Structure 1
């Protein structure tokens, strides 16, 4: 008795090849779609939280420079209504001077059409101490302002 190899059907090979090609195309489309989607999500998030971070940075630059009038001008109407420039300056001068900061997490929320933001900041003072503070921001007249 002699051994005769069993020939695989060409039809099965063709079906397998088509299935692998289809799977490969689907995987490639998923990868491309994820990359494009990630790019747009990143851009949207940056557009949303970027201005909050910039407003916080601008305010803290003014505080660090001792430019109390400029810092005061970046406060929301409500806070300026409760505190005069003279009182704000007195409060700032009574605290250790800020010499450095690092903006960490930034968040923007929209609740029933009221847009608010927050920025978590690690402050370093001239005494060398560090603290973490959360700044609340509101959008007034198209600009982000520090409000707490």
Structure 2
């Protein structure tokens, strides 16, 4: 009896590597599209916020300079209203030297942790001729911008 010769044919394997590369490529593409969309949204928020932030700060200081502390108090964020009562804010604003005028020097809007935040640099003119520059934090809250921090 002779030996039978058995031929071994190489087993054709499917190429899982191609499928893995394809899935990884699609995942990477999706991530890049998401990052680009988020960057575009952030840029849009920052670019469009400069006007409303300036209007909020302008209204706040106009009311403070005019002595209308009730309306100025309404422009404060929830955190600031939690620190000061309406009466306390009124007496704080009316403490000499009073704000007699102001000039908005700069408005800067940035996002931090996905939330827009702004800083307004304002030059305050005081009774008696003195002036000083202050940074006023402004935050997005309840669909609008609110003064949040110590502006004086």
TM-score of the two chains, using structure 2 as the length reference? 0.66
Structure 1: gaps spanning 5 or more residues: 1-42
Partner of 1:138 in structure 2?
139
**Cα-Cα RMSD:** 1.7
Q: Which moved further from structure 2: 64-73 or 43-52?
A: 43-52
Report the CA distance between 1:95 and its aligned residue: 3.0
Q: After TM superposition, give the deviation of residue 94 of structure 1 in Å.
A: 1.1
User: CA offset at residue 112 of structure 1?
Assistant: 2.0
1:47 to partner: Cα distance: 2.7
Task: Name structure 2 gaps, 5 residues minimum.
Answer: 1-43
1:98 matched to which residue of 2? 99
State the distance in 1 between where 2:133 and 2:105 align. Answer: 10
Distance 1:128 1:87 in 2: 26
- Structure number with greater Rg is 2
Q: Closer, same or farther in 2 for the Cα pair 1:44/1:87, shift >3 Å?
A: closer
Measure, in 1, the Cα distance between the counterparts of 2:115 and 2:46: 18
Q: Could you state the TM-score of these two structures normalised by the residue count of structure 1?
A: 0.67
Correspondence 1:117-128 to 2 at 5 A: 117-128=118-129
Residue deviations 1:81-112 (CA, integer Å, cap 9, x gap): 11100100111111322121110111011122
Q: Which residue of 2 aligns with 1:147?
A: 148
SS at match of 2:108: strand
Give the 4+ runs in structure 1 shifted more than 3 A: 43-46
Count of aligned positions: 106
